[in-house]
Chains A and B, each alone.
Chain A
């Protein structure tokens, strides 16, 4: 195995990890801040891909799709929170999980009705097609762009949460929603924004993954399992955990693909089982 191959393999692991990070972040934000597990996260990832495709075909440019689709689906996410999830606060913590599970059926079938059940081509934007030779190997430009964009978003998110007033409210809200209400913060607005942000991130993951995989109604199912594994490894509700675990899982899958390709999918679950045995609360999580 020459070093060029190892480097290329490592890079494709990081690129795969980037998508895992962005989806797991959305899941962790919603859970971390609201204690709600969004079982429709995979379906919204898929809806995001279709929205990106739809906007890109309307405007003729991938970039509009990349910008507009996550916002559009983020607002749709807010609608879901406002109309459906809001009614469940105060009830058993399983209810939002069950509701979003039923919702995923509706979303997948809805997309099948509107866009048909076959895959639709999501052309890689012309600017980003092709491969660049960085001397140490061939790297597809699109994946370099994905890694860069995800890195930028993660930094943006970190700044938003750590440095801004809104970020402070969101983090405090996750610790003690009752206290926030007492302090006169309209916690329901915060949750609306947080759910919209989480769903928007899932949609963004979908748009970014569109050109890499074919866009089809079933693409969400595997993504949901992947997002769960990454969130569990990282530690439920910990954003740092989601980022580190996402990259870790991406690289581990990629390296396994080098030596024992058929085990690539199993290794993800095996990794999670090991983490569970050693640290049930995950690498960065606090004991539930």
Chain B
């Protein structure tokens, strides 16, 4: 193929053909791209990984975000201005996310951005929005976004971070003198989860009997199991995410680790549990930002679940789906309070906002714009106890929102 030569064909072209060909060529190139009419709608950009391993979570997020926008538009929008959601596929890649964000800001002239599911994408979008002074509500679990290095006064972090989830889970699962072994994914998010657990263990007095860092995105964990088993821990803490979590728990069960110790994870993912059989996840304890089971005790959860079921043919909202709702709704409520889209007014409104849209009372902490919210602790149910396909977990604890659980502003590097 590379050996083919340019002039290997003596096709006899007259001048007329040649000009016609060039004409159509230029015509195609100059397809008139209609610039988006700048009407008075409030435009919210929503980058999410529609392609790739978290496509299901992304679709849930889009459905929840669209639900929030519909609810606000049905009540007359914001001062009569309709809200429009512009969903873009960031392909779970920071580079793509930055390009899509640039397009949303430069071409679509969005007033704010909500979204992102991975910490790399969140940090990329944050980098673009903070240079251009665009509001950004990020909904991916990460500690890095709270630190002063990445801080942007236009960015509000609606999601939980590892410090909060590990603190809540540890308080439930660890006792004084519990022997804990850690299997940790060797990347930033993994280190954050380990640090959170260590912090909580120090407070409770639980003892670490061993730590193994496994390569990020590894498929095979069998090589770590023998060593973990030899540590004879009471609790095996597996700190990784997504497919790594499902793989490592499955292989820990294969190696019989669940017989001798209880498996605890910082975050229990709805869709990862579905990706593995109930037997494998049975008894695993982990944290979460939202579980539809909250509707039994929380009116706002009941309202959200019912609205979601109505809009999506009876389907229930998942943990990551709920972030789409709480992220967009908190922004819109702030815009309503600020009476429009003026960035500084909306920032002030967000900083002062008290909102309870799906999971109980929440507010944004002033110094790092982290949403202080409740943290659920769930335990995966046995197949027998499940009352339906979506009845995956039982809520074993619900940590009330408190700043004590967070790293202090000074710790994060903010001047106090």
Contacts and interface: CB of A to CB of B under 8 A. Distances in A.
A261 B275 contact: no
A94 B256 contact: no
Interface in B278-320: 279-280
Contacts of A119: 243, 246, 272, 275-276
Interface string A235-252: 000000000000000000
Given A116-B56, A212-B251, A216-B243, A121 B277 contact: yes
Nearest to B273: A121
Contact of A120 (B1, B52, B217, B275): B275
Contact of B274 (A118, A124, A131): A118
A264 interface: yes
Interface string A101-133: 000000000001000111111011000011100
Contacts of B2: 92, 94
A117 B53 CA distance: 6
A261 B213 CA distance: 6
A17 to B, nearest CB: 11
Interface stretch (A6-14, A59-67, A152-160, A187-195): A6-14
B57 to A, nearest CB: 9
Interface stretch (A70-78, A136-144, A196-204, A270-278): A136-144
B219 interface: yes
Interface in B211-251: 212-215, 217-220, 222-227, 229-230, 243, 246-247, 250-251
B361 to A, nearest CB: 33
Contact of B222 (A12, A94, A261, A266): A12
B149 interface: no
The size class of the interface chain B forms with chain A is: 35 or more
Q: A-side binding surface: helix, strand, loop or mixed?
A: helix
B215 A8 contact: no
Residue of A121, A138, A264 with highest tally of chain B CB at under 10 A: A121
A191 to B, nearest CB: 19
B256 A130 contact: yes
Contacts of A219: 219
A5 B56 contact: no
Contact of B186 (A94, A258, A262): A262
B55 interface: yes
A118 B275 contact: yes
Given A123-B277, A261-B214, A8 B56 contact: no
B226 A5 contact: yes
A212 B275 contact: no
Contacts of A212: 220, 222, 251, 254
Nearest to B214: A261
A15 B224 CA distance: 13
A269 to B, nearest CB: 12
A214 B243 contact: yes
Contacts of A94: 1-2
A8 B223 CA distance: 9
A222 B217 contact: yes
Interface string A37-61: 0000000000000000000000000
Nearest to A12: B222
B274 A138 contact: no
Residue of A92, A95, A214, A258 with highest tally of chain B CB at under 10 A: A214
A47 B411 CA distance: 48
B271 interface: yes
Given A5-B227, A112-B55, A261 B276 contact: no
A121 B279 CA distance: 11
B414 interface: no
Contacts of A222: 217, 219
B3 interface: yes
Given A94-B1, A95-B1, A222-B217, A140 B56 contact: no
Nearest to A254: B223
A9 B214 CA distance: 15
Contact of B226 (A120, A137, A263, A264): A137
A176 interface: no
A161 interface: no
Nearest to B185: A262
A131 B256 contact: yes
B55 to A, nearest CB: 4
Contacts of B219: 209, 213, 219, 222-223
B222 A15 contact: yes
A146 B317 CA distance: 39
B244 to A, nearest CB: 10
A183 to B, nearest CB: 29
Given A9-B223, A12-B226, A13-B223, A262 B214 contact: yes
A101 to B, nearest CB: 13
Contact of A118 (B3, B56, B224): B56
Contacts of B255: 131, 138, 140
Contacts of B218: 264-265
B212 A261 contact: yes
A143 B225 CA distance: 13
B276 A9 contact: no
Contacts of A263: 215
A216 B3 CA distance: 39
A180 interface: no
Contacts of B220: 16, 19, 212-213
A91 interface: yes
A95 B2 CA distance: 9
A15 to B, nearest CB: 6
Contacts of B276: 119, 121, 214
10 nearest A-B residue pairs (beta carbon) = A119-B275, A8-B226, A257-B223, A117-B55, A262-B186, A131-B256, A265-B215, A254-B223, A12-B222, A92-B1
Interface of B: 1-3, 51-56, 186, 212-215, 217-220, 222-227, 229-230, 243, 246-247, 250-251, 254-256, 271-272, 274-277, 279-280
18 contacts: A2-B230, A8-B229, A19-B220, A92-B3, A118-B55, A118-B56, A119-B276, A121-B277, A121-B280, A140-B254, A143-B222, A214-B246, A217-B53, A254-B223, A258-B223, A261-B224, A264-B215, A264-B223
Given A142-B254, A213-B250, 12 more contacts: A12-B226, A13-B223, A15-B222, A16-B220, A116-B56, A117-B55, A138-B229, A138-B255, A212-B251, A214-B246, A222-B217, A263-B215
